[in-house]
């Protein structure tokens, strides 16, 4: 059984201001594809668990009857509420974590989790979700990756900087080690063991300043984690990216992906 990473409800407090601008956006085509594959209808309910700044909650609000966004960090919820207001969509916000999941939050058609499942007690979370999700519903894990293509050549230098400044983060080291149990294995041992993946690959222009904000949006290199060293990291990114950037931006090829888990 996988050992959970210790729960720190305010792990992302200092990252909230940088997350939306820094992290790769989920491809709109991916959202639409998940809606189709999961048979989401305008009367259905969606829960965005560990919603952060609300990327998925806002995206799904146009397709569902109601969306609830849940996160333990109040600052993330503040940013998410502002994003929902700007998009003119209706989202309900709940200050809480996977440890607060209960049948009273259901019934839910889809539970979305974006870049957050690894922070949860995954086995316990899936057991709780089993009491909330309708029989033909799904848990959908969203993420992103970078194909090894020439456009992404700058990533090696960028990741080397992140590795250097995040060297003292033991939880990051655990997630990158051979001892880490992948999400697929955890899901296969749960009731949500019917798995399907879908991905959308896009070429984008990404500003160097967005890469700075991306680094500051990561818990392992946030201002809350590394303190004044964050300024040094930001400057190092700007300097290293001058080799790769044109007009202040790099070309980035991103795969937005979703792992759909059903019973």
Percent of the chain with pLDDT over 70: 100
Domain 13-262 falls under CATH 3.90.79.10? no
pTM: 0.95
115 in Cβ contact with 23 (< 8 Å)? yes
Write down the pLDDT at residue 38.
98
Question: So what's the pLDDT on residue 170?
Answer: 75
CA atoms within 13 A on the CB side of 71: 31
Q: Name the pLDDT band for 175 (thresholds 50, 70, 90).
A: confident
Give the pLDDT of residue 227: 96
pLDDT score at 148:
98
What are 155's two structure tokens? 């990533």
Structure tokens at 109: 């058609």
- Can you give the residue ranges of every domain in the chain? 13-262
Strand partners, 204: 252
């Amino acid at each position: 059984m996988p050992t959970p990473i210790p729960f720190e409800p305010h792990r992302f407090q200092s990252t909230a201001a940088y997350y939306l601008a820094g992290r790769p956006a989920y491809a709109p085509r991916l959202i639409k594809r998940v809606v189709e594959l999961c048979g989401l209808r305008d009367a259905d309910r969606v829960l965005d668990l560990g919603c952060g700044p609300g990327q998925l909650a806002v995206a799904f609000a146009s397709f569902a009857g109601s969306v609830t966004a849940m996160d333990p960090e109040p600052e993330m919820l503040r940013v998410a509420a502002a994003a929902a207001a700007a998009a003119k969509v209706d989202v309900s916000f709940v200050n809480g974590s996977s440890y607060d999941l209960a049948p009273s939050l259901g019934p839910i058609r889809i539970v979305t989790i974006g870049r957050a499942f690894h922070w949860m007690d995954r086995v316990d979370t899936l057991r709780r979700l089993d009491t909330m999700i309708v029989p033909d519903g799904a848990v959908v894990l969203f993420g992103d990756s970078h194909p090894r293509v020439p456009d992404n050549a700058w990533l090696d230098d960028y990741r080397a900087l992140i590795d250097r400044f995040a060297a003292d983060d033991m939880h990051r080291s655990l997630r990158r080690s051979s001892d880490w149990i992948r999400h697929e294995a955890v899901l296969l041992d749960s009731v949500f063991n019917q798995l399907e993946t879908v991905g959308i690959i896009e070429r984008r222009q990404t500003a160097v300043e967005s890469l700075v904000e991306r680094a500051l949006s990561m818990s392992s290199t946030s201002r809350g984690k590394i303190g004044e060293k964050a300024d040094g990291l930001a400057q190092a990114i700007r300097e290293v990216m001058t080799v790769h950037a044109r007009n202040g931006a790099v070309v980035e090829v991103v795969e937005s992906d979703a792992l759909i888990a059903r019973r």
